[in-house]
Structures are given as C-alpha cells and as structure tokens.
Chains A and B, each alone.
Chain A
Amino acid sequence: MKITDELIDYIGELARLELSGAEREARKKDLTEILDYMDKLNELDTAGLPEMTHPFDASNRFREDVVLNGDRRQEMLGNAPDRKGDFFKVFKTVE
C-alpha cells in the first residue's frame, strides 16, 4: 500500500495533524513500509469469520444512571489551557 502525497494529506486531515516537510516525507515512507507488512494478513482466508472487537463474549455491564458526583465545575475547569469565568475559552466559531 503506497502512501502518496494525496493520501498523506488526507490522513493528516483525518488525524488533525499538520506535518512539516521532513516529517511528511518520513511518514510517507514508514507508513508505506508498515502497511506493506500488515498486508501479510491477506495470506489468511477470513471470509465469513466474525469480527472480534473485544476479548470476551461478556457484554458491557450497565448500571443505573444515578448521579454519584457533585458539582465539580471548578475542578474540571482547573486544567483548561484558557478560560473565561466558568467557561472554556476558544476562538470565535460562528460569524
């Protein structure tokens, strides 16, 4: 699987990452190599086999939707890179 210029830009967009020139070339090269290696899985015929997303058959354990924590607004905002009063502060997103 060759990672082309077009593809690396698309992946960067999906990942919300922008790559410098050198980084972009390095990722094109090593992603191509890694994906070529991953193609080894095609040696196996897996048609019709189930997809195992989780180690065990056990389903998720659900609990009652009861509030267990109190108002922790200030703690949650404590790690904000920027805030204004009780809000996370970001650039204006609507015109």
Chain B
Amino acid sequence: MELGEIRQFTALELGRLIKGRKISSPEATRLYIDAVRAEDGETHAYVSVFEEDAMARAEAVQKRLDAGELAERPLAGVPAAVKDAICVKDKKTTAASRMLEHFAPPYDAHVIERMAAAGAVILGKTNLDEFAMGGSTETSCFGPTRNPWDPERTPGGSSGGSAAAVAAGLAPYAIGSDTGGSIRQPCSFCNLTGVKPTYGSVSRYGLMAYASSLDQIGTMARDARDCAETLSMISGYDLRDSTSVMEKPFDFSGIFTEAGGEKPLQGLRVALPGNYFRMGISGEVKDIVLKAAGGLADLGAEAEEIDLPYIEYAVPAYYIIACAEASSNLSRYDGVKYGYRSENASDMTGIFYKSRSEGFGAEVKRRIMLGAFVLSSGYFDAYYKKALQVRGLIKGAFDAALKKYDLILSPVSPTPAYRIGQQIADPLAMYMADIYTVSLNLSGLPGVALPCGFDGEGLPVGMQFIGKAFSEGVLLHAADIWQQATGYHKSRPGRRGGAGRGAGK
C-alpha cells in the first residue's frame, strides 16, 4: 500500500487499518502533518498545526492500542482537524479574530475531552469566519481559505477551514460548528457530508459563543458513516452546558447495513417543499436536487411535494435573533481579562471602546451593532420580540410537516461555491444565501448535508435531509443508503490548481 493512498480513506477505514496494524497511528499522523506542511500554503485550511502534541498523542494512543485498549473505539489513533472556535487547553484558540489572536484557553472544550477519551489525534485548528460570522471564511483575520475544488472560490463558511482540510485530504474528518449553516453549507461547497445535530445533543462547553440558542457543534467527513461515528463520539450529557439534554451519546450501532433489495428506502416518507424551489435558486442546483429526490424515490422512498410556509421570513428572523445574542455574548470582550487590549487608551472607558473597535473586524462589528439596535429600548418589540414570534411560526411549520414525513429534502445553498470577493461587499446578499439552512437553527432540528451532483463547471452540489429532533439515525441511515447507491461523495478535487476538477474518482 502506498502511504499516500492513506489520505483517500475515510476515518473509519483508517481506524480499521490502524487496528489491523497495516499502519500505525504515528505513521498516519506524520503523513497528514507532512501533507499539511507541504500543501496547505495555498488552501490555507489550517491556522495552527500541533505537530509535537499530535505526534505525542499518536504515540500514546498506539501504546494503548498495542496493549489491547481502545478496542471499542473505531477512531482511536485517527487524526482529525478542529475548527478554531473550539477551545483546546493551552493552545491558541482565536475564533479567527484579532481580538483573540494570542488567547490560549486554560481548559478543553467538552468535545475535545470526548475526542481524547476516544483516542482521536488532533492535527491542528482550522480557519473560519471571524467568530463564525460569515459564509465564506473571508472575514477571518488570517485571510480566506480556498476551495480545493477551485482555488478561486470560497470553501463556504463559517467552518470553511474544516471543510477545505477534509476535501483536500489534509484531515480524514473535522469538527465544526453550525449557528446558521456553518457546517452544512461548506460541506455542500466541498463535496462532504456534515451533520448539524439536534440542539442540545452536543455540549457547547468550550465553543466560543456566537448565538447561544442557535450554536451547535457537529461533524464534517467524507461519508455518512464517518459522520455517525464522530457524532456518537462527541454527543451526550455534560453538566457544564445547561442546555445539554441527552442522557447518553447517540448510539448508531446496527443502523448501517448493506442495502438490501431494490428498494432499501421503502417506507421512508420524504417531503419535498416545492416552494423552496420557486425562489432565488440557481437553475442547476434546483435541477440537481430535484433529480436526487427522484433518486430517493427510485430507492423506495415515498416522496411527496408539500408547501413549507414561512421560508421567506427565516433569514430576517434569524439575523435579528443571532445578532441580538451576539451583541450580548461578545460584550465580554472588554480588553481587561483576556483578549486584545488597545495601546491607545488613556482611561477605563477608552480600554473598552478602543480594544473592541481595533480588535473586531467589520462583519463582527456590523452584527454587534445590529444586535444592540434590535434590543434597544423603543425597537425591542418591533424587531426582537417580532422575530421570536416568527421563530415559533417557523418551528410550528416544521413540526407539522415532520408529523407526516420522516425527512424533508431541501437544497443547502442556492448556488454552488462562489468566487472569493464576489459577495463580501454586499452583506445583505451574503445573509440571503443562508435561506435554506437557518430555519434548522431557529427550530433546533437536525440536518445532514450530503453530495448529490456536480454543476456544469464540475463544482459540487449538496442536498439537505431535515428530520425530527434526535432523529439523526434516520437521516444518516438514508444518507448511507444514498451513498451506497451513488458515487458523488467519492469524487475528490483534482490536485493542484483546479485542473482536472472532479476527475479524481
């Protein structure tokens, strides 16, 4: 086996190779670290690489594997990348903000503890939009990440670094976070599978807070089975997050089987919201996702067209609520206890104003100001209260549809990956591109994004499975059947400069 081939394997495949002694964890870790050093210059998926710690962890895990430990942990010894909004003890955790450029948290996030217990090896931290506010990684204070499918284009965001790392073969899987689509949209742009889990299923302890009633940590990988394994690894109860509601981690054992018969999705009731396809969506994306709906029907699913109301109100309601929560959450950055402090202040108030004005980037300031405004006296009822009421209407519409159907099939993004610089100057256009993803954060429901085709230029297009709260198993089972029947998720970007895009099957 060529060592380079290792990078084409899924996380679970690599885990099996490590268990089967075909390759050791330190060998696999070294291979990935060398690849990041050699190839990430242009892509810029990573903002930091933990070479020494990763090698030390890999050696330690290998010793435990050699002693027969970690036998029940399929991802033991397998490397991974983590979005730089998630705290790793004593390692720089920046949220891609100048505000936290030198911040090293004195504790691990819950998901990092869970990864350590499973024997995961963290390669480093990946780029994101500043404080996860954006859909293209262009608002990162470190500069943008490039899409491995076409370096002129964005990998999406905010978890764009995590997506680019996995798509470029610079990590077998990655951890991201999703407040309004930040896992699902980059997965769609980079031909990956990703899960925004049900709110409350993964502890937010150690995730930089953006909008606390919407934020959720999730996983990004090459297929549904890797997503299931990583999700069961990081989910479950944590007393340090008062919204943590699951008694036990997800248990997906037994849901993945070889697709039996010609109709392996028989009995699955799928709703296709027709109105989602009659708004500002690219013709190609529309055709590809509708064709996928036909594909699911061919696999035995009972697909029906429905009208899912209030979609056109999701983006305004989302941005009012997300910005309101952001303005409150980000008030902690005052230049006193940690983070950036301006050199230009001459009194206490000056420390607050100047540290925040110099430390935050333009998009973060815009959202803090929007949030401060919609919460201010005189405007609170007209904007914030109104948005909370509309949030209830949106949730009600999803709950009603999910009483009749197991799964709602939707696009992820109205377009495939767009060019870097194309939308950054128009915030409203950026916000409106989140139309298909934000409703799930407002309603707390789970969503799985997965590949379903390529446009005329060879750029990946994803679709989204939406389900009832805690029905991740149903969604991932359907995703796995789809992936057994199709090969879209197996396509890899052509190496170097976008040449031969999509050719690396």
Residues on A lying within 8 angstroms of B by beta carbon are 7, 10-12, 14-19, 23, 27, 30-31, 33-35, 37-38, 40-44, 46, 49-56, 58, 60-63, 72, 75-76, 78-82, 88, 90-93
At the interface with chain A, which of B61-69, B164-172, B238-246?
B238-246
Give, as a whole number of angstroms, the nearest-CB distance from B106 to chain A.
4
Chain B CB within 10 A, most for which of A37, A43, A58, A81: A81
Is B482 an interface residue when CB atoms closer than 8 A count as contact?
Answer: no
Residue pair B385, A51 in contact (C-beta under 8 Å): yes
Give, as a whole number of angstroms, the nearest-CB distance from B321 to chain A.
9
Given contacts A82-B341, A91-B345, list 4 more A-B pairs with CB under 8 A: A15-B371, A18-B354, A40-B313, A61-B245
Residue pair B213, A30 in contact (C-beta under 8 Å): no
Complex interface bits, B378-414 against A, C-beta within 8 A gives 1, otherwise 0:
0000010111111111010000000000000000000
Question: Within the assembled complex, what's the spacing in Å between the Cα atoms of A93 and B310?
Answer: 50
From B244, B338, B444, give the contact of A55 (CB < 8 A).
B444
Residues of chain B lying within 8 A (CB to CB) of residue A18: 353-354, 357
Given that A18-B357, A58-B245, A81-B339 are contacting pairs, would A52 and B103 also be in contact in the complex, using a CB cutoff of 8 Å? no
Complex interface bits, B359-391 against A, C-beta within 8 A gives 1, otherwise 0:
010100110111111001000000101111111
Question: Within the assembled complex, what's the spacing in Å between the Cα atoms of A81 and B362?
Answer: 23
Residue pair B313, A41 in contact (C-beta under 8 Å): yes
Residue pair A31, B366 in contact (C-beta under 8 Å): yes
Question: Within the assembled complex, what's the spacing in Å between the Cα atoms of A89 and B372?
Answer: 28
Residues of chain A lying within 8 A (CB to CB) of residue B348: 90-93
Within 8 A of A (CB), among B296-318: 310, 312-313, 316-317
Residue pair B213, A19 in contact (C-beta under 8 Å): no
Residues of chain B lying within 8 A (CB to CB) of residue A90: 336, 348, 351
21 contacts between A and B (CB under 8 A): A12-B369, A16-B331, A18-B357, A30-B366, A30-B427, A31-B366, A34-B428, A34-B431, A38-B316, A38-B387, A41-B313, A44-B313, A51-B392, A52-B392, A52-B395, A55-B443, A56-B245, A63-B239, A80-B336, A82-B341, A91-B347
Residue pair B347, A44 in contact (C-beta under 8 Å): no
Q: Which residue of A lies closest to B371 (CB)?
A: A15
Given that A33-B428, A34-B427 are contacting pairs, would A52 and B388 also be in contact in the complex, using a CB cutoff of 8 Å? yes
Is B32 an interface residue when CB atoms closer than 8 A count as contact?
Answer: no
Residues of chain A lying within 8 A (CB to CB) of residue B444: 55-56
Is B448 an interface residue when CB atoms closer than 8 A count as contact?
Answer: no
Is B200 an interface residue when CB atoms closer than 8 A count as contact?
Answer: yes
Is B335 an interface residue when CB atoms closer than 8 A count as contact?
Answer: yes
Residues of chain B lying within 8 A (CB to CB) of residue A56: 199-200, 245, 444, 469
Is B104 an interface residue when CB atoms closer than 8 A count as contact?
Answer: yes
Q: Is the interface of B mostly helix, strand, loop or mixed?
A: helix
Give, as a whole number of angstroms, the nearest-CB distance from A86 to chain B.
13
Chain B CB within 10 A, most for which of A55, A60, A88, A93: A55
Residues of chain B lying within 8 A (CB to CB) of residue A44: 310, 313, 390, 393
Give, as a whole number of angstroms, the nearest-CB distance from A75 to chain B.
4
Chain B CB within 10 A, most for which of A17, A54, A78, A93: A17
Residue pair A52, B389 in contact (C-beta under 8 Å): yes
Given that A38-B320, A55-B213, A72-B106 are contacting pairs, would A14 and B387 also be in contact in the complex, using a CB cutoff of 8 Å? no
Is B340 an interface residue when CB atoms closer than 8 A count as contact?
Answer: yes
Residues of chain B lying within 8 A (CB to CB) of residue A54: 213, 243
Top 6 closest pairs, chain A to chain B, by CB: A55-B444, A81-B341, A79-B338, A75-B106, A51-B388, A46-B389
Question: Within the assembled complex, what's the spacing in Å between the Cα atoms of A85 and B390?
Answer: 51
Residue pair A16, B242 in contact (C-beta under 8 Å): no
Residues of chain B lying within 8 A (CB to CB) of residue A15: 327, 356, 365, 368-369, 371-372
Residue pair B357, A19 in contact (C-beta under 8 Å): yes
Residues of chain A lying within 8 A (CB to CB) of residue B387: 38, 41
Give, as a whole number of angstroms, the nearest-CB distance from B384 to chain A.
9
Residues of chain A lying within 8 A (CB to CB) of residue B142: none
Residue pair B244, A49 in contact (C-beta under 8 Å): no
Residue pair B392, A49 in contact (C-beta under 8 Å): yes
From A31, A33, A58, A62, give the contact of B373 (CB < 8 A).
A31
Question: Within the assembled complex, what's the spacing in Å between the Cα atoms of A63 and B338?
Answer: 28
Q: Which residue of A lies closest to B375 (CB)?
A: A14
Residue pair A76, B392 in contact (C-beta under 8 Å): no
Residue pair A76, B427 in contact (C-beta under 8 Å): no
Question: Within the assembled complex, what's the spacing in Å between the Cα atoms of A45 and B390?
Answer: 9
Residue pair B336, A88 in contact (C-beta under 8 Å): yes
Residues of chain B lying within 8 A (CB to CB) of residue A7: 373
Residues of chain B lying within 8 A (CB to CB) of residue A37: 316, 428, 431
Residues of chain A lying within 8 A (CB to CB) of residue B383: 35, 38
Residue pair B391, A52 in contact (C-beta under 8 Å): yes
Question: Within the assembled complex, what's the spacing in Å between the Cα atoms of A42 and B387?
Answer: 10
Q: Which residue of A lies closest to B443 (CB)?
A: A55
Is B319 an interface residue when CB atoms closer than 8 A count as contact?
Answer: yes
Residue pair B369, A16 in contact (C-beta under 8 Å): no
